[in-house]
Structure 1
Amino acid sequence: MTNNGIEKLLQQWEKIHFQQHSQLINFHNSVKVLAPLIKLQEKFEKIQIPPNLALYTKQFEMFGNSFNRIASPTLPKLIQSHLELQQSFIDLPPRIQEALLLLAKRGWYYDFNMTLSDLWELRKAIIDENNEEVDEALIEYFDEKIEEVRTSLKMLFPERAHIISAAIDAHIRGEYYLAIPILLAQTDGICKEMVNQYLFMKKDKKPKTAIYVDKFKTDTCKAAFLSPLATTTPVGESEYERKESGGGNSFNRHMILHGESLDYGKKVNSVKAISLINYVSQALKKHNKENTNI
């Protein structure tokens, strides 16, 4: 799997930004064109028609009506269009972040080869509490993509390829008890390798990878896509955090690697682990590359 998906998403973001900028220029140009007409209208409104020009009243009224048909509907529409585009641009990162964190709270992680429409559909299904539907859809999705995931991870992390490939082979054979711990361990290793921070270690009650994500505070879109790495989610909860949240989640890294969970070996959990390592590899590879080019 390549980074074409995230490239497309970021290109969409840049396109929206360009559209907003173009719309703003068009808006200002339109206002410049309409401004003299508005001043002309104001002058006509101040004219007192003398009795001897009463015959021309009809023509003045016709001109005024024609102007109103041009200027009056156009300017408010331009303003409204600009405001709506600007607001959609502002609202997109929070919507992305909310949807990604809703997925992460269910143990799932976004694949950047999905579209934003896919993300909105998953978000809606979770909000509607159709959790089984979400699980089934994402299991089917990653079943079809499993070899692409393997290829992508081998290309991105050749020194880890033999370990990750063995874990994926175990997953395909249905040996989920073997696959899951390896995938979780390699996920943490990838985070350390890419940004020198661990996902499953905490600082100030947040994953240490949040230190890296904080670098993108001013870029709200990138920060939104990376938000699962800056927030504690069920897979990364400590024993204390699990007690606080009341979580009885079997897909928890601490419980699995410390031998507390004895029933984690299910296909759904194995696919969740694949979705996590896939997300981490895509997100950090892309954004770390951009950050080093700054």
Structure 2
Amino acid sequence: MKIPEIHDPFKHLRPQLEITQKLISSHKSNVFSELKKFHEKFNSDILDSIQKLSKTLVEYQKRSSIAYRKLAEFGWYITLETDISEPIRLTEMIEKEEVDEMELDKEMMTHFKNHFKVIRKTLLRKFPRRKEILESAFNAHKNSDYNLSIPVFFSQAEGICCDITGKKLFGGRKDSNDNYHPHTFEWVKNLERESILTNLLEPLKHKGSLNQSDSEFNRHAVLHGEDCNYGSETNSYKALSLLNFVGTIVYKAKTNSD
């Protein structure tokens, strides 16, 4: 019996394939050259994008640091829940005189009102030794007893700061060049290489309004009985913002660096 010839389905394509192979061989150097150019351009584009991104991040970090410091100059401190672009937006609007301090207070109070329950729960959980005192302060604030809530918020913020950093939250000293630095300045500087949160700690490197004896509302005048008109809702939220800042952001920066 005659075995049928096995049909080669690619037989008619072989001549074309051979021609294609010769063409590739003859232009191999050109192909590799084009691939090399593409690879170099691709790498160059990627590097350029990374450099642009890095530059943008550095600029954004600079602007946000300025914004955090300026908010502290108005007596406000951010939370971990704060939108990262919000401090920049608010402070730049103030500089352009698009909003005034009263409008800033209104926006910041809305933020803290919305997060009051979370702040309370977080601080009571993190600092059980201070739970009874903190609960009394939170209850006083909730009941509009601001004359009672504000001094406790201030004193507990200072106590927690001392526990975390070993430094006093209020007060400071001048260096050899007569530049004033808060007690927490050196702590932040020493932490800068260790924590990604140091950008948020910018207020601890400067003298905010709550730490200035000549500002309308400040810790010294309240706790030393010099100011008898401090008991407002706005001031209580400002003091709470400081307490929360110390108990969450400063706390997190410290624990992340350990």
**Which band: TM-score by shorter chain?**
0.7 to 0.9
Query: C-alpha displacement at 1:224, in angstroms?
Result: 1.6
Q: Deviations over 1:172-211 (max 9, x none)?
A: 1111111111110110000111111111131333221222
How do residues 1-294 of structure 1 correspond to structure 2 at under 5 angstroms?
78=46, 80-129=48-97, 130=99, 131-204=101-174, 205-218=180-193, 221-238=196-213, 242=214, 249-292=215-258
Query: C-alpha displacement at 1:76, in angstroms?
Result: 7.3
- Looking at structure 2, the residues matched to 280 and 291 of structure 1 have their Cα atoms a distance apart, in angstroms, of 16
- Looking at structure 1, the residues matched to 141 and 51 of structure 2 have their Cα atoms a distance apart, in angstroms, of 50
TM-score, length basis structure 1? 0.67
Residue identity in the other structure for 2:183: K
Query: C-alpha displacement at 1:120, in angstroms?
Result: 2.7
Query: C-alpha displacement at 1:279, in angstroms?
Result: 0.8
Conserved 8 A contact 1:250-1:261: no
Conserved 8 A contact 1:125-1:134: no
Q: Deviations over 1:25-54 (max 9, x none)?
A: xxxxxxxxxxx99xx69xxxxxxxxxxxxx
Instruction: Please give the secondary structure, in 2, of the residue aligned with 1:174.
Output: coil
> What is the total number of aligned residue pairs between the two structures?
221
C-alpha distance 73-278 of structure 1, shift in aligned 2 (>3 A): same
Query: C-alpha displacement at 1:221, in angstroms?
Result: 4.6
Residue identity in the other structure for 2:187: Y
Larger radius of gyration: 2
Which structure 2 residue ranges, 5 or more long, are not aligned?
A: 1-28, 175-179
- Looking at structure 2, the residues matched to 272 and 105 of structure 1 have their Cα atoms a distance apart, in angstroms, of 11
Query: C-alpha displacement at 1:73, in angstroms?
Result: 8.6
- Looking at structure 2, the residues matched to 154 and 75 of structure 1 have their Cα atoms a distance apart, in angstroms, of 51
C-alpha distance 73-140 of structure 1, shift in aligned 2 (>3 A): same
Q: Deviations over 1:119-144 (max 9, x none)?
A: 33223333233122221111112112
Query: C-alpha displacement at 1:219, in angstroms?
Result: 5.5
Q: Deviations over 1:138-163 (max 9, x none)?
A: 11121122121111110111111111
Name the structure with the higher helix share: 1
Conserved 8 A contact 2:195-2:256: no
Conserved 8 A contact 2:69-2:203: yes
TM-score, length basis structure 2? 0.76
C-alpha distance 78-195 of structure 1, shift in aligned 2 (>3 A): closer
Residue identity in the other structure for 2:185: A
% identity of equivalent residues = 28
2:22 aligned residue: none
Which structure 1 residue ranges, 5 or more long, are not aligned?
A: 1-35, 42-67, 243-248
Conserved 8 A contact 2:167-2:183: yes
C-alpha distance 231-72 of structure 1, shift in aligned 2 (>3 A): same
Conserved 8 A contact 1:216-1:222: no
